[in-house]
Structure 1
Amino acid sequence: MARKLKTYQTSLGFFDLAIAAPSMKAALEAWGADSNLFHQGAAKESDDPDVIAAAMEKPGVVLRRAVGSDGPFGEHAKLPTDLGGTRPTKAARKSKGPGAKRPSSRPVDKAAEQKAALAFEKEQSRRELERAKEEAARRKEHERRQQAVDKAQAALDKAEQEHAKQAAAIQADIETLEKKSQTEQARWDKEKARLEAALRRARG
């Protein structure tokens, strides 16, 4: 059975955020928060009927508006134009006399609540599918990169083995030539000594 939705609000960066969700945990996940904003006092359950109505129209969708403004929430919001601020704070605006907004006293529409809860589950499933697709794409890219790394490493290993083989063959040739050189030098030393002895005898 679909769980009853509540509307939660917070402010992140340049935007106020609102969402209709079944729990604070679900709201934090949808906002992408990495800490519990509710425990920190940075998020709350909304009692503003306009915010609740907007969120219930699109359950599970993160709605935005420029931070500090009192405009309507929507899926896409422009950045705030007045960040330097002489405008009254939210608290000041809320405390303005008898005209301040009060929580809605409209009767609870069970059918609308059920519809909103089902819509939230549908949106949550869409988000989870999107995350799964992104994760699959990341895995595929990682595998592609790993294959390229493995291929390059294999080529390097093969080249190193070929180099080692060639270097060993050259070293063997050097040692053979060195041995031949030593043999030739010994033969020449002996032949030279014999010829020099013959020359001395001829000179008498």
Structure 2
Amino acid sequence: MPRKLKTYQTSLGFFDQAIAAPSMKAALEAWGADSNLFHQGVATETDDPEIVAATMAKPGVVLRRPVGSDGPFKESAELPTDLAGHDARRPGKVRAKSRPKKHPPRKSDDKTDRKAALAFEREQARRDSERRKEEAAREKERERREKVVAKAQAALDKARREHEGKVSALEAERAALDERAEAEETRWEKQKAKLDGALRRARE
């Protein structure tokens, strides 16, 4: 049987966020939090009837409003108009009101609760599906990049082998030329010595 939903609220970046979820863990996963915001005191369960009504109308959907405002929570919220003094790098504590109101407990309706819980499960399944698609797309892009890199590396390796082969051939040709030049120099020295001797004898 689906678990009964509760409404959780936090403040992250430029937005207050709220969600109807069956547990704190589920809320943290939906918020994409990488730490326990509840233990840090920056997230809490709320019984504010307006927030509860908004989240229960869209179970599992993260609703937002500009941080520090008292406006309604919506799927799409505009940035706050006054960002002075707000540090978007750190999650802010859920703003406490000077005179907290005690809200009457929400009337429990098993049929409504089951419907909301099932809606949450559908939204969670949709979110998980989107996450899997994104992961698959990232994996596909990673494989594409690896193929491009491998192709470029193969082309570089081939060009290097061709270059090294040509250099080796040129060095072999140079060695052969050096050997021929040395042989020619030796032949010339012998011939020159012989001709010099003949010239001296002719002058005597």
What are the superposed Cα offsets for residues 140-185 of structure 1, whole Å, 9 maximum, x if unpaired? 1111110010001111111111111111111111111111111111
Whole-Å separation in 2 of the counterparts to 1:122 and 1:56: 14
Q: How does 1:13-92 map to 2 (within 5 A)?
A: 13-84=13-84, 90-92=96-98
**Structure 2 unaligned blocks of 5 or more:** 86-94
Say whether the 8 Å CA contact 1:65–1:74 is kept in structure 2: yes
Q: Is the 8 A contact 1:68 1:90 kept in 2?
A: no
Aligned to 1:127: 127
User: For the residues of structure 2 that align with 1:34 and 1:124, how far apart are their CA atoms?
Assistant: 18
Task: Extract unaligned runs of 5+ from structure 1.
Answer: none
- Alignment-derived partner of residue 196 in structure 2: 196
Structure with higher RCO (Cα < 8 A, 6+ apart): 2
Q: How many residues align?
A: 195
Give me the identity figure in percent.
Answer: 64
The yes-or-no answer on 1:116 pairing with 2:116 is yes
Asked whether the 8 Å contact 1:8–1:19 carries over to 2, the reply is yes
1:129 shift after superposition:
0.5
Q: How far apart, in 1, do the equivalents of 2:184 and 2:40 lie? A: 92
Letter in 2 for 1:111: K
Farther-moved stretch of structure 1 (117-126 vs 73-82): 73-82
Residue matched to 2:170? 170
8 Å contact kept, 1:5–1:113: yes
Please say which of residues 103-112 and 40-49 is displaced more in the overlay: 103-112
TM-score under structure 2 length normalisation: 0.91
* 2:161 alignment partner, SS class: helix
User: Residue 106 of structure 1: CA displacement?
Assistant: 4.7
Letter in 2 for 1:157: D
Could you tell me how far apart the structure 2 residues matched to 1:178 and 1:105 are? 102
